[in-house]
Amino acid sequence: MSNTVLLLTLLAAYLLFLAGTAWRLSYNSKTNKTNTNSHYLFGSGFGFLLSFFGIAASLFSTFTLEGMPAFFKNHGIASWVFLGITDVCLAALLLYFGLKMRHFARQLAINNNKRRTAKNLTEWLKQSGLPKWVVIFFVASVTVFMIPYITIQIKGTAVMLQTAIPLGETHLLWSIMMVALMMTYSWFGGIKAIFVTDMVQGLVLLVTVWAIAFFAISASGGMGNLFAQVATIEPALLSAPGPKGVLNWQFLLIGFISIVLMPYVQPQLFTRVLVAKSDKAFARSTMALAVFAILVILPTLFIGLRSVLVAQNMPEGHFLLNLISSDAPMFFYALFIVGVLAAAMSTADSQLMAIGTEWSSAMTEQDIQKHPSAKVLVKSIGAVVALVALALAQTSFKSLILFSINSFIGTSLLLPIVLATAVRSQAHRWLLIISSVVAVAIFLPVVLGILPKMIMGLRIELILYAVQGCLLAWVWLSKKSSGETSYVV
């Protein structure tokens, strides 16, 4: 059986699985008269497994299967600081602060006489009494900065599918089919369907990367030989800041801060923290996430280094398939591509639905489950964002990770607005809100090339983090000295 036939067989099996899952959940929704809140808007709690895979799938996606090996191939083992250590720290901090977030959400509901706690960022901000324009600004900024991350899911997968099974001269047709598949699946299946793909994606991801890493190490004659051969070809790959000088201390620090802050500012992750069925289920899923991060990222190091030996000069989208074809059995070639599709769908689906949900919640004063047009808004906004990402995916950018890091940085600059919800002093609240507004107003022109990226040898992002960090420290110290406990609406 050829690679193409095997790939088409696995793709067909995966698509049938998606169709069956979406139909079953859609049928159950109609039969049981499931409301908008439960079907689309995170109305029901999720236990340990679904909570764990939901958070993991939002973090590890095309970014993992394609971006990480490419980053190790191009920039060397110092990428481990940026990727491996950072994600483990994210999980460790999330265990503490995630529980604080859940407790604070319950307190907000009590203070506002709500029957249920906030299930997304916008509800959290509204229940905290922030002005409507601040809520709209927050959601608009998140949307702008999330589009690049959705874009890399579409482009990374479409380029790989185009490499394996060409359709036309570019990856446009694969991009269109992928977006259509994502939107149809999430529209019919709802949030539970997305959580199902999260679980499938997580399992396929783990099996695939370790299998490919095993074959890559074996083909190199062992781990010692792999590192020795890489040292012969490009010694700089085995030290920081790497052969291209990207992994300097400023990049690593900015990358660490922006990724560690993701769960508190990105809606698809924030929601998954709040919808866990219980604190126990959330704590267990977060601890599992730290282990999963190591298990997923470590093998991509070996895959990336092996790529230096067999596909150093090949572009992204080609070198991985060439490596798998030369080192691994035919089955893993097909499984890898299906895994990339599952990872991209899982992540992009959740992000599109989260953005639609945030806008739906922001555009009404009432609770989102009472919004009569919530379904239409969630679908419509998700479709618009998907089309923008589809168009952007047809442009050129060299690195999936370097492109997506702007998404992480942009959303992380919104953290002061989230923290403002826990501050009683109006002066301190406005100081935090304004710091985020100004930071976004500066960072966007930097991304677009209008403003310089460096000032006196320091990156703009680092300066913005330093200013925001000082403001947060001052507000916290003022709060402590005044004896302020918790914010009460």
User: Residues, the chain, total?
Assistant: 489
Integer angstrom CA distances of residue 184 from 20, 21, 197, 338: 13, 12, 14, 18
Q: CB-based contacts of 485: which residues, under 8 Å, 6+ apart?
A: none
489, β-bridge pairs: none
pLDDT digits (tens, 9 = 90+) for 126-149: 888 899 999 999 999 999 999 988
CB atoms near residue 310 (< 10 Å): 16
Residues 353, 194 contacting (CB under 8 angstroms): yes
Q: Give the C-alpha separation, 147 to 157, whole Å.
A: 16
The list of the chain residues with pLDDT below 70 reads: 1-2, 26-46, 50, 57-58, 61-63, 190-191, 312-317, 365-374, 397-403, 482-489
The alpha-helical segments, DSSP class H, found in 220-329 are 223-233, 249-260, 262-265, 267-274, 279-310, 319-327
Residue owning tokens 């790529």: 307
The alpha-helical segments, DSSP class H, found in 68-113 are 68-75, 79-80, 86-111
Q: Which domains does the chain have, with CATH numbers?
A: 3-401 (1.20.1730.10), 413-489 (no CATH)
pLDDT digits (tens, 9 = 90+) for 29-79: 666 555 444 545 444 566 777 677 777 766 776 667 777 888 888 888 888
Residues 159, 317 contacting (CB under 8 angstroms): yes
276, β-bridge pairs: 46
Residue 371 has what pLDDT? 62
At 436, list the tokens. 């985020």
Q: CB-based contacts of 14: which residues, under 8 Å, 6+ apart?
A: 338, 341, 342
Q: Give the C-alpha separation, 378 to 92, whole Å.
A: 32
Residues 87, 297 contacting (CB under 8 angstroms): yes
The structure's pTM equals: 0.86
Residue 317 has what pLDDT? 58
Letter for the amino acid at 403? F
Helix (H) or strand (E) holding 216: helix 172-219
